[in-house]
Amino acid sequence: MNEAFLKLREYAARRLLFEVWIYVMRSFYERRTTVEGSIDLLTEYAKGRLSESEREYGRYVMYNADDDNALVQTNGGVDQWIVRRHPRLSCSCYEPQEMQWPCIHVMSWCKGKGEDYLPYVDRIYFQKSLLACYNQAIPLVTEQDLVIHITCRASEAAVRRGRARTVRIPNGGGSSRRHREYMYPVQDEARLISSQDPLTAISDQAASPLTQDGRGKSQRRCRVCRERGHQRNTCPIFKQADSLRAEYFTYT
């Protein structure tokens, strides 16, 4: 019985010494980091930003704080933010995660615990990093790295959110692109050729018959094949598509 009791006392004493050693080493590391991260070593941008934050973080109060977590509120208690220290510094406002910078809530937490917030400032905000960039000790970003390669997609393939929009289709031919391609497969091809050929406008203008008054008004084009001389009802392509559609429904 006495041996078991002595073993428990020895285990408790070792655990207490281990916790004291961890506390001493953590305090030593934070003090060393604070000395290295003096506010005089920061850049002018960081100094100005710290001075602006120090004017506002007095409005925030810390509640329910421990070694790792804390709840920061305004004086009125309307808004709340959760600050975590381990495994990495984070806040519910996401400013420390994105900017590697102590936000106002972290500063108020450090003020309530009597700690310094300079250890949470990233090294990129110090003058050493800025001078290293100018001395090309840190490789700069080239223009090729700044170019964003965008893969162009057709408007039909792009996924749109919200309510579907109706698009007016010129020259008729159906209510959708798939229906138009099924009904009139030559229409898009003829339209593409006429839009890409620079001589189409000249040849069409030269081939257009003149009226009696000499104003040069041409005949109307067919809405299916875009050719002159007939209309949509008498178009051979329309008749062919109509016959194919009739055969399809007959066999099915």
Name the residue range of residue 233's domain: 177-207+218-251
130 and 202 co-located in one domain:
no
Residue 58 lies in a domain: yes
Compute the distance between CA of residue 238 and CA of residue 19 in angstroms, rounded to an integer.
89
- Residue 54: CA count within 13 A, CB half-sphere: 10
Compute the distance between CA of residue 112 and CA of residue 67 in angstroms, rounded to an integer.
12
pTM over 0.75: no
128 and 186 co-located in one domain:
no
The conformation of residue 224, written as its DSSP 8-state character, comes to T
Residue 188 lies in a domain: yes
pLDDT value, residue 174:
46
39 CB neighbour count, 10 Å cutoff: 13
Residue 24 lies in a domain: no
- Cα angle 215-221-226, degrees, rounded to a multiple of 5: 140
Of the chain, the end-to-end C-alpha distance in Å amounts to 94
97 and 183 co-located in one domain:
no
pLDDT value, residue 75:
66
pLDDT value, residue 217:
43
Q: Low-confidence residues of the chain, pLDDT below 50?
A: 34-36, 148-158, 173-174, 186, 188, 194-195, 197-218
148 CB neighbour count, 10 Å cutoff: 5
Any idea which residue has 């004291």 for tokens?
20
191 and 247 co-located in one domain:
yes
Task: Specify which residues 61 forms β-bridges with.
Answer: 73
pLDDT value, residue 156:
47
117 and 198 co-located in one domain:
no
Residue 225 lies in a domain: yes
196 and 110 co-located in one domain:
no
Residue 140 identity (one-letter amino acid): L
Indicate the number of domains in the chain. 2
Compute the distance between CA of residue 127 and CA of residue 36 in angstroms, rounded to an integer.
12
110 and 186 co-located in one domain:
no
187 and 125 co-located in one domain:
no
| Helix/strand number for the chain, H first, E second | 10, 4
DSSP string over 152-177: ---TTTS---SSPPP-PPTT-S-SSH
pLDDT value, residue 209:
46
Strands (E), the chain: 60-63, 69-74, 80-84, 90-91
Q: What phi-psi label fits residue 239: left (phi over 0), alpha (psi between -120 and 50 degrees) or beta?
A: alpha
Q: In the numeric block, which tokens belong to residue 245?
A: 């559609």
- Residue 79: CA count within 13 A, CB half-sphere: 7
Residue 74 lies in a domain: yes
52 and 110 co-located in one domain:
yes
pLDDT value, residue 214:
44
63 and 129 co-located in one domain:
yes
Residue 223 lies in a domain: yes
128 and 203 co-located in one domain:
no
Residue 145 lies in a domain: no
Any idea which residue has 């421990």 for tokens?
66
Helices 104-113 and 44-56: crossing angle, nearest 10°?
A: 70
Residue 26 lies in a domain: no
